Amino acid sequence: MIDNILKQIDQEAQAHPNRIAFDHLGQTNTYQELADWSSRVASAIQRLDLNHDVPIMVYGGQTFDMLVAFLGAVKAGHAYIPVDVHSSEQRLQTIIEAAQPGFIICVEPLPIETAVPQLSLTELHEVYHSFPIKQGEDSLHLNDNFYIIFTSGTTGKPKGVQISHCNLLSFVNWMKYDFNFEEKNVLLQPSFSFDLSVMAIYPTLTSGGTLKVLPKETTDNFMSLFSVLPKLALDTWISTPSLIDICLMDQNFNPQNYPQLATFLFCGEELTHATASKLKQRFPAAHIYNTYGPTETTVAVTSVEITDDILAKYARLPIGYVKPETTIFVKSHRNKKGELLIAGPNVSKGYLHNQAKTEAAFFDISGVRVYRSGDLGYFEGKLLFYTGRSDFQIKLNGYRIELEEINHYLSEIPFVKQGVAVPKYDQQGKVKQLIGTVVLKQSAGDELTATHRVKQALSKLVMPYMIPQRFKYYQKLPLSANGKVDIKALITAVNAHD
């Protein structure tokens, strides 16, 4: 068991300074560089004399400088907020408003104006060489926030999930105990603003392993994806099931070309039977795990190996056995199915500067923090099964989206009278696209022009994955008894036709 993530990473650096910690398509950085540079960044941050509970935003892509900035912030006693370079300007504004960071480390230039003091990439590089290594006691206490990740919020305002050092330790110790990360080459594919990246970062860096980065530009282009992947010499795969669906389209994705690849960890969305069995056929000797968890409970809280027996027994796969230290209750009145309530030291204290949403989603039982997940499920013995959501949160290619967030922004577009985004499902019950159902004002132009204009307007307001791929236009949208747009009726309509 480790009791301090920062100390453990520094110990790894002392034990093998020249080992590669981060490999970005062949551009490598060592443990020594990670430990040394992040300690110098910590000194620079401490000179700012910020209040202890003020977070530091770190803006950029999937680079080593981001990781150095994260650890630098935490070593200085401040939580970091990872914000991806592909975020819309509106999202950047709302995150800065909600989080009130004391400082922004801009690994990429920030595209908006803000009064918050900033450090550019050039200045960050100067810090690596000109500031002293931070000395003295640990600045971060167990209950202090380690990172804050922003997720989709129903009112158009993203919610900042606060994860403490203690929350993260509970997760990392479980990962290190249940899965072997020692000196492994581990895939780092999701952006840093998605907590699935945490599943790769901290178990790997506290085990002397190497993060093998697959940047978004590579993932987005199948040709380069299929040519880069085999060169990564991966031992451990971590991704959403959506990415493995793409990889399985390539016949060369097989044990001959990936001789070391022995473990697959999936999280973030449903792992379908079809995907898991295809993968098992392709990699019969590999261990495939389904894991489940919301960002609010620190990445993942259950896991199960998907063996041939499990595949034979269940048409819809289980999400797993609950990790040590954590308890899951099923809140149900009559039958055994109900909302999953997750309790334990891995549960967040709540949303940053948002008491109302925190009180709605979290509570305490005898001093133990509990999160109302909104996920529905049931236990069969100790094995947990997921059956769906109790609200309008969906997953598209692993991205968490509150439909109401898109609806909020659709309805803000001046030439849109009413707009609602609804999911279109494939045969496996997975969301395959978002459809914008819209009532236009007279001035909007024909449907083709309107679609172009709506997409353009949304691109400034929401993350790219929240922009519906298709639009349908209506004279009016169906209303439910309370006078609101009947989203359920629209979902049924969109999935019944074509």
Nearer to ligand AMP, 16 or 400 (CB): 400
Which runs of E-coded beta strand occur in 193-295? 210-213, 236-239, 263-266, 287-292
Output 305 or 412, the one with its CB closest to ligand AMP.
305
Give CA–CA dist 322/163, Å, rounded: 19
Helices (H), 385-442: 403-410
Instruction: Tell the smallest beta-carbon distance from residue 401 to ligand AMP (Å).
Output: 9
375 binds ligand AMP (CB under 6 A): yes
Determine, following the binding rule CB under 6 A, whether residue 242 of this chain makes contact with ligand AMP.
no
Closest CA to 232 of 255, 212, 254: 212
Candidate segments 51-59, 93-101, 139-147, 261-269, binder of ligand AMP by CB under 6 A: 261-269
Q: Which of 76, 213, 271, 438 binds ligand AMP (CB under 6 A)?
A: 271
Which two structure tokens, joined as six digits, stand for 105?
């480390």
Can residue 396 be called a binding residue for ligand AMP (CB under 6 A)? no
Of 39 and 197, nearer to ligand AMP (C-beta) is 197
Identity of the residue, 270 or 404, whose beta carbon is nearer to ligand AMP in the bound complex: 270
Instruction: Print the binding letters for residues 146-165 with ligand AMP: x by CB under 6 A, - otherwise.
Output: -----x--------------
Q: Which two tokens stand for residue 100?
A: 């009130």
Query: If residue 350 lies in a helix (H) or strand (E), which one and from where to where?
Result: strand 350-351
Residue 88 or residue 239: which is nearer to ligand AMP going by CB? 239
Identify the residue among 400, 424, 455, 472 touching ligand AMP (CB under 6 A). 400
Binding mask 20-59 for ligand AMP (x = CB under 6 A): ----------------------------------------
What 3-state DSSP class applies to 200? helix
How many residues touch ligand AMP under the rule CB under 6 A: the total is 18
- Stretch in the footprint of ligand AMP (CB under 6 A) among 81-89, 287-295, 354-362, 406-414: 287-295
Work out which of 179, 258, 292, 409 binds ligand AMP, going by CB under 6 A: 292
Out of 60, 294, 423, 436, the residue judged to bind ligand AMP by CB under 6 A = 294
Q: Is there a contact between 90 and 460 (Cβ–Cβ < 8 Å)?
A: yes
What string of DSSP letters covers 123-180?
A: HHHHHHHHSPPP-SS----TTSEEEEEEE--TTS--EEEEEEHHHHHHHHHHHHHHS-
Nearer to ligand AMP, 291 or 451 (CB): 291
Distance in angstroms (rounded) separating the CA atoms of residues 52 and 55? 8
Give min distance, CB of 451 to ligand AMP, in A. 28
Strands (E), 10-79: 20-24, 27-30, 56-60
Return the residues of window 328-367 that contact ligand AMP according to CB under 6 A.
none
Q: Could you tell me the smallest distance in angstroms from the CB atom of residue 400 to ligand AMP? A: 4
Task: State the CB neighbour count (10 A cutoff) for residue 389.
Answer: 14
Among residues 210, 295, 407, 451, which is the contact residue for ligand AMP, using CB under 6 A? 295
Answer left, alpha or beta for residue 296, where phi above 0 means left and psi between -120 and 50 means alpha: alpha
Tell which positions 188-227 bind ligand AMP, by CB under 6 A. Answer: 195
Q: Establish if 181 lies at the interface with ligand AMP (CB under 6 A).
A: no
Q: How far is the CB of 294 from ligand AMP (least distance, A)?
A: 4
Residue of 69, 267, 301, 420 interacting with ligand AMP (CB under 6 A): 267
Only one of the segments 199-207, 219-227, 268-276, 440-448 lies at the binding site for ligand AMP (rule: CB under 6 A); that segment is 268-276
* DSSP H or E stretch at residue 396: strand 393-396
Residue with smaller CB distance to ligand AMP, 195 or 404: 195
Give the shortest CB-386-to-ligand AMP separation in angstroms: 4
From candidates 208, 268, 419, 436, binder to ligand AMP by CB under 6 A = 268
Q: Which of residues 308-327 bind ligand AMP (CB under 6 A)?
A: 319
- Residue 395 in the binding site for ligand AMP (CB under 6 A): yes
Nearer to ligand AMP, 32 or 154 (CB): 154
Reduce the DSSP state of residue 8 to 3 states and report it.
helix
Round the CA-based radius of gyration of the chain to a whole number and report it.
Answer: 23
Q: Which residues pair with 394 in a beta bridge?
A: 401
For residue 211, what are the CA distances in angstroms to 59, 106, 270, 323?
A: 20, 22, 25, 24
Cα dihedral 11→15→18→24 (10° resolution): -40
Is 20 or 274 the residue whose CB approaches ligand AMP more closely? 274
Residue 94's CB is within 10 A of a number of other CB atoms, namely 18
Coil vs helix vs strand at 202: helix
Please, which residues bridge with residue 331 across strands?
339
Residue of 171, 207, 208, 202 whose CA lies nearest to 80: 202
Which residues would be at the binding site for ligand AMP (CB under 6 A)?
151, 195, 267-271, 290, 292, 294-295, 319, 373, 375, 386, 389, 395, 400
